[in-house]
Each structure stands twice: as C-alpha cells, then as structure tokens.
Structure 1
Amino acid sequence: MNYASTFEQLKKETFYNKVRHSDYFVDGYLEGVDRVKKDYRDLFAEYRNHPNVVFLVDPPYLSTDCSTYSRPDYWKLSDYLNVLKTIEDTSYFYFTSNKSQILELCEWMQTRGYCRSPFDGDTLVSVNTSLTHNAGYEDIMIYRNE
C-alpha cells in the first residue's frame, strides 16, 4: 500500500509472497469474449451502442496519489466525473473500495439535488478484505445490466 518512486526506496520495502498450491484450470473461460484495451473515451465512443457489450471500469481511487503515474495530470476529478457520465445507460462492472470517496460524492450530489447518482438503482456488492491483522478495507463492485 506504499509507493516507491526510486529503486533505493523499493529496496527498503518488505515483500510478502503467497504461493498458490495448485494450478488454475481456465481453458475456454474467455472463449468468445473480445478484450479491448484503449483510452476509455475512445472505447466508450466505439462500443457504447453495440449489443452484448459490458464495460469493466476500474479507475484509480478518488483519493489515490497519482503522482507516480505516467503523467502528473494523469487522473483528475474531472476524469472520474467523465467516466460516470459515460457509463450512463450502459452495462458495466465498476470497481472501487471504501478507500475512495466516489460513492460518498455521488450520494452527496444526489441528496443535495444536484443530480441523480450514476449508481442509483444499480447492484452493489462488497467484500471486507484484510491486509494484515490490523489493516483492511472494503472492496466494492457495482454493476448494471441494461
């Protein structure tokens, strides 16, 4: 949960590995699924009106320090809001956690009469995740099937 921006910082960190005890067999799991990777704006514009398309949306958390990303201006509040506007009336899976304040922001906008929350009426699933004996968070997946 920490960032290292230099190799010297990275060398000071401790890593823990969890070894998988058995192989995963996923033959044919994604058969018939086209996976596309490109800028989200181009992707939505190209596939928005296609049938049988579901978007997987996993932006950085709203409160994430983006300074270690490829550009200093990589991800801003306007990007979050643009993504939320873009997924209107589409099928999607949106991943976040309680470490991000995006759900709180959307709820605040709705309760104050600014706009309907983009997640209003969608299905929310959450799982408590424990990182250590005293650190954890809540993983959240929101989805809509139009």
Structure 2
Amino acid sequence: MTKMYTTAPLPFQGQKQNFIKQFKEELSKQRAPALYVDLFGGSGLLSRTAKDIHPEATVVYNDYDNFRERLQAIPKTNELLADIRVLVEGIANKSRIDNDIKTQIIDRIAQEKGYIDYITISSNVLFSQNYANSIEALKKESFYNRVRKSDITLADDYLDGLEIVSIDYKQLFEMYKNHEHVVFLVDPPYLSTDCTTYKNYWRLKDYLDVLRVLIGQKYFYFTSNKSSIVELCEWIETNTGGVNPFYEATIVERKTNINHQSSYTDIMLFKWTTTTT
C-alpha cells in the first residue's frame, strides 16, 4: 500500500482525522505490539493508521457500522452527486437551497434503487456536521449547497491488510482481553454529543460500561471535554476509592472548532502499561 490516509475516504460522524498526527506520533514511539484491536471501528481511520505505522502488526477492525458497504457504493454515490451537482448549478457555495430545488433533489434520490449512502449525500446538502440516515429524515431538513465539485476518489485499498469483523464490542473484547501484547483502540460515541449516524442508541450506562475494557489493559481512548468522563473517574477514585481506568494514562488535548461560535476539546488518553492503581 502506498497511499497514507490522514482522513477517512467518506464522511463519518466522529472520525479522528484531527487527532491522526498525535496518534501517529505516539504509535511511532513504541515498539509495535503483536496486535491492535479497534473495538469501535467506525470509519476505520484508527485501524488504517495503526497498520500503516506498524505493518507487521495484526490490526482487527470492528466494522460494526458497515463502513465497507459505503466504500463499495462510492461509484453509485458519485453518480448521484453528479446529478445533484447539476441541480444546484448557479447556487452559491454554502447558500441555502430553495424548496423547489430541494424537491428535485429528493425526487432524484427517490429514483435510486438498492443501497444509498445517506450519510455522504446528506453531508453534501445539509448544514455542516448535520447528517441524515433516510430520505424521510432528509425531507425534514433545510438544504444548503455543500455539494463537492468533483467525484469521491475510489478507496479500494483503504481496508487492505486489516482483519475485519462486525460484532458487539464486548464480545470482541472478550476474544482478545488476555492476549499478552494487545493494545485496544477505544473510540466510542462521545457522551453529550450528537450520535445520529450510529447504529445503536447510547445511554449514560453504555458510556460507563465501555470504561471496563480499559482496566488492566493497554489502550488508546478518545473522548471530549463535553463528556466530563475524565473528571468523573478522578472524582470516583478520590471520593470512593474506586478504580480509575485513566490512572497513569497520558493525556493529549486538541481544540476543535465546530463553527465560528462553538468549539470543544478532543481528548486522547493512552497507556502502554497494565498498571491499574
């Protein structure tokens, strides 16, 4: 493989393109373990990066959201976007699309048979960071001209070399938790953020359950300051004597701007030892 991906080939809610530089740096500092297991594979960007930095390592990518199907549909998605591009011709970039043109776009989408990559389509016609999973959801939204000017590049090599599974993260963890040289990549949906495009609905209990996989393991864990999960674990450790899964973990922070009015802090925590207290 010759291409080094710094972002996923298709839009994906929560992909880690803003943290790839720091992630690569930390991976490069360490001797490659025998195994990386990406519990919440998402767009596959963490798995792809781990394999590129340490090609001799085994990297297990949990494609629970079926990103593979979206990659395979790129030619069809390009055809659909090409037709939408014609419909929005003359509309300024990022400007609102009037209802007549919106109706024509919806009608064009409705003509498609079989699989439609609604996440990619919606990223081209909805306001930044907004996504829809169905034509019914699209109909409820205001449209904006964010249609890309060229085709999406084919990404047939994107998942090359990865071992791909599609199972619940808890089951995957049980399969590898006792492997001596495993490092878990843990990037669950963020607490207190929009999780529209994820397959399952996440409750507070679900977010906290994820922390169990960190205890006694080597890992990279991703969160944001919106979740306050790091502070919560520190409080539990200080006030109850409970185990803090982030004990002795290294923390890296990066400010992310959503738009000119709002931002949040992305957080990466990692630990290369199995110390728990």
TM over 0.5: yes
Partners in 2 of 1:13 and 1:90 — Cα distance? Answer: 45
Per-residue CA deviations over 1:69-109 (Å, capped at 9, x if unaligned) read 545xx322222222111221111111111122212221221
Higher radius of gyration, 1 or 2: 2
Task: Give the counterpart letter for 2:186 in structure 1.
Answer: V
Partners in 2 of 1:78 and 1:122 — Cα distance? Answer: 23
Q: How does 1:1-16 map to 2 (within 5 A)?
A: 1-2=129-130, 4=132, 6-10=137-141, 12-14=142-144, 16=146
Runs of 4+ in structure 1 deviating by more than 4 angstroms, as ranges, are 1-5, 15-19, 29-33, 65-69
Task: Give the counterpart letter for 1:85 in structure 2.
Answer: R
Instruction: Report which of the two has the higher share of helix.
Output: 2
Q: How does 1:25-64 map to 2 (within 5 A)?
A: 34-64=163-193
Instruction: Describe the shift of the 1:35–1:56 C-alpha distance in structure 2 as closer, same or farther (beyond 3 A).
Output: farther
Q: Is 1:108 aligned to residue 235 of structure 2? A: yes
Give unpaired runs (5+ residues) of structure 2. 1-128
Give unpaired runs (5+ residues) of structure 1. none
Task: Give the counterpart letter for 1:43 in structure 2.
Answer: L
Instruction: Check the 8 A contact 1:63/1:101 in 2, yes or no.
Output: no
Query: TM-score, normalized by length of structure 1?
Result: 0.73
Any idea what SS the aligned residue of 2:172 has?
helix
Q: Identity of aligned pairs, percent?
A: 48
Task: Give the counterpart letter for 1:91 in structure 2.
Answer: K
Partners in 2 of 1:56 and 1:89 — Cα distance? Answer: 14
Q: Is 1:128 aligned to residue 255 of structure 2? A: yes
Instruction: Describe the shift of the 1:119–1:35 C-alpha distance in structure 2 as closer, same or farther (beyond 3 A).
Output: farther
Per-residue CA deviations over 1:97-139 (Å, capped at 9, x if unaligned) read 1122212221221222241321011011111122222321111
Any idea what SS the aligned residue of 2:173 has?
helix
Please provide the CA RMSD for this pair. Answer: 3.2
Per-residue CA deviations over 1:17-72 (Å, capped at 9, x if unaligned) read 788xxx9xxx8x9886645442111111000111332111111122235577545x
The alignment of Structure 1 onto Structure 2 pairs a total of residues equal to 137
Query: TM-score, normalized by length of structure 2?
Result: 0.42
The equivalent of 2:221 in structure 1 is 94
Partners in 1 of 2:263 and 2:148 — Cα distance? Answer: 17
Partners in 2 of 1:132 and 1:18 — Cα distance? Answer: 19
Any idea what SS the aligned residue of 1:41 has?
helix
Any idea what SS the aligned residue of 2:235 has?
helix
Instruction: Check the 8 A contact 2:225/2:266 in 1, yes or no.
Output: yes
Partners in 2 of 1:119 and 1:44 — Cα distance? Answer: 18
Instruction: Describe the shift of the 1:139–1:17 C-alpha distance in structure 2 as closer, same or farther (beyond 3 A).
Output: farther
Any idea what SS the aligned residue of 1:128 has?
strand
